[in-house]
Amino acid sequence: MTKGSITKNLVLFAIPLFFGQLLQQLYNIVDSVVVGNVLGKEALAAVSTSGSLIFLMVGFINGLFMGSSVIIGKSYGAKDYKRVSMAAHTGIAFAFIMGITLSVVGFFFTPVILGWMGTPADVMPNSVLYFRTYFLGGLGNIMYSACCGVFQAVGDSKRPLYYLMVSTVLNTILDITFVKFLGLGIGGAAFATIIAQFVSAILAFVKLTRVDGPHRIYIRKLKMDGELLKKELALGFPTGIQNSVIAIGNVVLQSNINAFGSVAMAACGSYFKIEGFVFLPITCMCMALTTFVSQNLGAGEVERVRKGSLIGSVISVSCAEIIGVIVFIFAPVFLSMFSREPGVIAIGTTQARTESLFYCLLALSHCLAGIYRGAGKTTIPMIVMLSSWCLLRITYITIIVRIIPVVNVIFWAYPLTWSVSTIVFIIYYFKGSWIKQIG
């Protein structure tokens, strides 16, 4: 990432990530499509609301690994291969511990959190069963993310794609088998997911133990270097907090949606599955920019960082807005994949057409956040998203929904907070301190 065409480097790195994220969305959607068409709207509501709670639990832990990725990327760019190896071993060892922790906490606290979210009584049993089963696979989820983070930090975005392809096909086959043919219900859908997650995690980990490079993992060396772990956590903790804070904001939003009943839950949950596709170019370019910035700053290529930041942001924003227009036009068609009920389609379409034309702001916020993380400035995205995507979002919802008690006003929380975060990020970008302090 430190030499050659900037556009080519970013695009070639982002393309495998794009297809990997595409598969991940299909992976997530399979549960909803199979459950919605076989088990009905109550079961669909239980699965569709999974995003907020899962991101609350998993987002914090995955955010912690951002520090590991930044250190690996900068060390790799600076050709400090000993430090690359130490950071990789520390990150993977820490991931193993956190994966087990996630399983335990998720299993025991799921009913409590669902209660806080105001989950309706007709949805609660299915929700508890789905989430508890899902979180039993927490170790597979976290280990896969950590292993992929190591690959991506050294510029390899292809291998995670290969393992995810296998996992997605397996998840689809098991979903249909468990739910439709074996009649295992919503628990079968969750069980299919965790099996597929463990398979992808095992494939990624085994490859790391055999790869030819400084990021190779040796099982006998798997331990946490105390000093390096502190630095990784110092960089990763703000991102973990940011993820959790955003998730808390989304949980509050989901709680307000839940108050409008299972039809609104199914509709909004289905829309969020569609919105996941919007994140494909955004997430991919954000990850590419984080790796690009960390490696080039490690190599002392400050001007290259500036050019790459602009190119990557333009690509991501353009793609996001094109997708936004498509979603605006074809929202009813997309939503009908999940449910044929008119109420579900109508509410989901309203949400899609409220938010979709503002995807450009979402893309720019994420790209700038990814740039700052690559530069080691992980606290800035945390502060901006804490204030806008959590505090402002919760304040808006808490006040407006009580004044105008209709579900439509909830949807405007997203464009509003995306606009605020984008403005603040742009102001910080042109100050230049984020690159001067590192470069």
DSSP state string for 65-130: HHHHHHHHHHHHHTT-HHHHHHHHHHHHHHHHHHHHHHHHHHHHHHHHHHHHTT--TTTHHHHHHH
CB 35 within 8 A of CB 189: yes
Alpha carbons 243 and 237: distance in angstroms, whole number: 10
More confident residue, 68 or 88: 88
d(CA 208, CA 215): 7
> CB neighbours (10 Å) of residue 395?
11
| pLDDT > 50? residue 7 | yes
Q: Can you spell out the DSSP letters for 339-352?
A: ---HHHHHHHHHHH
Q: Quick check: is 46 in a domain?
A: yes
Please give the pLDDT value at position 6. 92
Query: Does 89 score more than 90 pLDDT?
Result: yes
What was the pLDDT predicted at 212?
Answer: 92
The proportion of the chain whose per-residue pLDDT surpasses 70, expressed as a percent, equals 93
pLDDT bucket at 281, cuts 50 / 70 / 90? confident
Q: Over the stretch 236-258, which tens digit does the pLDDT of each residue have? A: 888 887 777 776 777 777 778 87
pLDDT mean over 130-158: 88
pLDDT band of residue 437 (cuts 50, 70, 90) is very low
Average pLDDT over residues 345-371: 93
Q: Is residue 432 pLDDT above 70, yes or no? A: no
Q: Is residue 114 part of a domain?
A: yes
Task: Identify the domain containing residue 328 by its residue range.
Answer: 6-436
Q: In this predicted structure, what is the pLDDT of residue 439?
A: 36
- pLDDT band at residue 107 using 50, 70 and 90 as cut-offs: confident
In angstroms, the CA 429 to CA 345 distance is 40
Question: Bigger pLDDT: 385 or 217?
Answer: 217
Q: Is residue 1 in some structural domain?
A: no
Cβ-contact 193, 31 below 8 angstroms = yes
Number of structural domains, the chain?
1
Please list, residue by residue across 115-134, b when 16 or more beta carbons sit within 10 angstroms of its beta carbon and e when fewer do. Answer: eebebbeebeebbbbbbbbb
Pick left, alpha or beta for residue 301 (phi over 0 → left; psi -120 to 50 → alpha; otherwise beta).
Answer: beta
Report the C-alpha gap between 251 and 113 in whole angstroms. Answer: 9
Residue 355's pLDDT band, with cuts at 50, 70 and 90, is: very high
What's the pLDDT score for residue 45? 67
pTM for the whole structure: 0.73
Closest listed residue to residue 345, CA positions, set 263, 253, 260, 256: 263
Kindly indicate the confidence band of residue 27, based on its pLDDT and cuts at 50, 70 and 90.
low
Q: What average pLDDT does the segment 126-132 reach? A: 83
Residue type, 195: I
In the predicted model, is pLDDT for residue 438 greater than 60? Answer: no
Per-residue pLDDT, 117: 66
Closest by CA position to 60, among listed 286, 263, 233: 233
- Predicted pLDDT of residue 237: 84
Extract the tokens encoding 65: 């690994």
At residue 202 the predicted structure's pLDDT band, cuts being 50, 70 and 90, is very high
Considering the chain, what is the average pLDDT of its residues?
Answer: 85
* pLDDT of 436 above 60: no
Residue with tokens 């296998």: 166
